[in-house]
């Protein structure tokens, strides 16, 4: 079963209209939902978090633009494709924010998501998010605009990227409201860390934006850009509604600028739910037992109230009961007086086919093990238990079950891009401590507690069954101490 799909079904229920277009299964939407609602990246920019004399939001938006700016509208090359991880040695990509941001994400879709979260965290508009970007394997052209360039060069650069002069002015204004210019990154431009400032400050001549009023006339790129149409565009952005709508449109276009031939999904929503969730939603999962002998007419059910993690827990708990499920559905009560919403896949429920293998991480049997050493040292690992349905009886031996683990990107500042996860494939063995039950056989292996995602693979004769990108970060495992 696909745990994150179940979770997103719960979350989508906050908007019945939005969910009406979502039909399961859909692997591409599953990935997008997982990135939006389960990755937890929003915690790193919450409340427009300050960092390194700027904001994390400014760093994330900057890296998204610098990645996108390799785009050439005429020949369809470049765009937001994660090529930035191969381009950090270039002077226009200077700054600690670049490598530290890549420690949080190094693939194009999550770079785009970072921009969406960055803007929202600083009180900006909710930008629609689509996925489907394809990661580059080499660096793109060195085409990021730089402060010392003249106005004609900037206009030409933005035009190549797909933005006209008016859009260039507005996009720069939108981006430069979130952060500042660091002296250690640009010592020839600024003598102290300064915020870039807001539109009204520029028009009222109160801005300290060094790219507008800095001592080096050559690097006053914002002044040249903002004033290039007699401040007509900047005047229009004084309206909060206009500013918000314009920025949302342009930043969406920016993160959706991709090489020709790359197709993005429709925007995933409703994004505002993850930013402003109900204080204590009650989610009830119902399912129909395939044998029809254990569930009342309304179906079996299990309920959870509270956080997203607990939503994952009800899925894992339902699975761990080893009841042969034929289909499942949800109701969500936001506990705010509104009517509960039914999430049932367009009325048909989410059907679990009988002719496919059922394989899942058993959260109740899996456990984190802390091994105490002779002194103060200790070791820890996750004893991963995977439940495989009666089809496992067809396997010749335990070598038919394997897990590929994904360790997250290095979290050291001296890591060298490209920042790629570590992949390790491990064969699972039959778990002697958990005998077969309910038509399921249990397999186990020990993995690092730092593993974020796993792929499960089972071979049955000529067929191969998989569970892709099983997210372990949202599952609460039990813990035991060993000596």
Span 426-475, pLDDT tens digits: 889 989 999 887 677 889 999 988 887 788 888 766 777 777 777 787 67
pLDDT at 7 over 60: no
96-151 pLDDT per residue, tens: 778 888 877 767 888 998 999 899 888 888 888 888 888 898 999 999 998 889 99
Q: What is the mean pLDDT of residues 276-286?
A: 63
Confidence of residue 155 (pLDDT cuts 50, 70, 90): very high
Residue range 361-482, CATH number: 2.60.40
Residue 21, pLDDT score = 38
Q: Which of 66, 154, 176, 391 is catalytic?
A: 66
The long-range contacts involving 373-377, CB below 8 angstroms and separated by at least 24 positions, are none
Confidence of residue 396 (pLDDT cuts 50, 70, 90): very low
| Nearest-angstrom CA–CA distance, 399 and 430 | 9
Q: Which two tokens stand for residue 191?
A: 């003598």
What's the pTM?
0.60
**Whether 176 is catalytic:** no
Q: Which two tokens stand for residue 361?
A: 């991480």
Q: How far is CA 353 from the centre of its chain?
A: 29
Confidence of residue 252 (pLDDT cuts 50, 70, 90): very high
| Nearest-angstrom CA–CA distance, 447 and 368 | 10
329 or 246, which is more confident: 246
- DSSP annotation of 260: T
- Give the rounded percent of residues in the chain with a pLDDT score beyond 70: 67
Spatial contact of 358 and 331, defined as CB atoms under 8 Å apart: no
Spatial contact of 65 and 175, defined as CB atoms under 8 Å apart: yes
Could you state, in order of their start, the residue ranges of all structural domains in the chain?
A: 3-17+278-354, 41-255, 361-482
- DSSP annotation of 335: S
Closest-CA residue to 346 (of 44, 13, 20, 14): 20
pLDDT at 196 over 80: no
Spatial contact of 413 and 100, defined as CB atoms under 8 Å apart: yes
Confidence of residue 358 (pLDDT cuts 50, 70, 90): low
350 or 192, which is more confident: 350
| Nearest-angstrom CA–CA distance, 56 and 63 | 11
Architecture of domain 41-255 in this structure: Orthogonal Bundle (1.10)
Q: Between β-strands 194-195 and 54-55, what pairing exists: parallel, antiparallel or unpaired?
A: unpaired
């Amino acid at each position: 079963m696909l745990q994150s799909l179940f979770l997103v079904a719960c979350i989508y229920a906050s908007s019945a209209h939005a969910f009406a277009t979502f039909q399961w299964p859909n692997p591409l939407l599953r990935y997008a939902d997982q990135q939006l609602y389960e990755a937890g990246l929003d915690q790193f920019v919450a409340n427009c978090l300050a960092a390194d004399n700027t904001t994390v939001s400014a760093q994330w938006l900057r890296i998204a633009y610098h990645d996108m700016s390799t785009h050439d509208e005429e020949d369809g090359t470049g765009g937001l494709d994660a090529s930035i991880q191969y381009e950090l040695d270039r002077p226009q990509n200077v700054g600690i924010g670049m490598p530290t941001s890549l420690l949080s994400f190094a693939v194009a879709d999550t770079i785009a998501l970072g921009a969406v979260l960055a803007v929202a965290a600083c009180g900006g508009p909710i930008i629609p998010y689509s996925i489907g970007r394809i990661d580059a394997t080499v660096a793109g052209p060195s085409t990021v605009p730089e402060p010392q360039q003249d106005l004609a060069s900037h206009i030409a650069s933005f035009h190549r990227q797909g933005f006209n002069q008016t859009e260039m002015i507005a996009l720069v204004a939108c981006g430069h409201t979130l952060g500042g210019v660091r002296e250690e990154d640009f010592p020839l431009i600024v003598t102290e860390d300064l915020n870039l400032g807001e539109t009204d400050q520029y028009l009222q001549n109160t801005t300290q934006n060094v790219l507008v009023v800095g001592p080096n006339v050559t690097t006053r790129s914002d002044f040249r850009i903002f004033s290039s149409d007699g401040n007509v565009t900047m005047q229009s952005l004084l309206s909060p509604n206009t500013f918000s709508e314009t920025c949302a449109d342009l930043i969406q276009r920016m993160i959706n600028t991709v090489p020709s031939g790359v197709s993005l999904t429709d925007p995933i929503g409703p994004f505002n739910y993850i930013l402003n969730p109900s204080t204590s939603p009650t989610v009830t999962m119902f399912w129909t037992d395939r044998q029809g002998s254990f569930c009342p007419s309304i179906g079996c059910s299990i309920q959870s109230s509270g956080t997203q993690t607990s939503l994952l827990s009800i899925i894992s708990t339902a699975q761990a009961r080893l009841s042969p499920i034929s289909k499942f559905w949800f109701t969500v009560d936001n506990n705010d007086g509104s009517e509960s919403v039914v999430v049932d896949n367009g009325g048909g429920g989410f059907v679990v086919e009988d002719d496919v293998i059922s394989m899942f991480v058993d959260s109740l049997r899996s456990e984190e093990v802390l091994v105490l050493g002779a002194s103060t040292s200790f070791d820890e690992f996750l004893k991963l238990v995977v439940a495989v349905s009666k089809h496992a009886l067809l396997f010749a031996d335990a070598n038919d079950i394997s897990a590929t683990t994904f360790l997250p990107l290095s979290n050291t500042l001296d890591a060298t891009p490209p920042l790629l996860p570590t992949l390790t494939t491990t064969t699972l063995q039959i778990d002697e401590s958990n005998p077969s039950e309910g038509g399921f056989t249990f397999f186990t292996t020990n993995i690092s507690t730092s593993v974020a995602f796993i792929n499960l693979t089972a071979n049955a004769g000529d067929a191969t069954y998989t569970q892709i990108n099983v997210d372990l970060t949202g599952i609460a495992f039990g813990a035991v101490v060993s000596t």
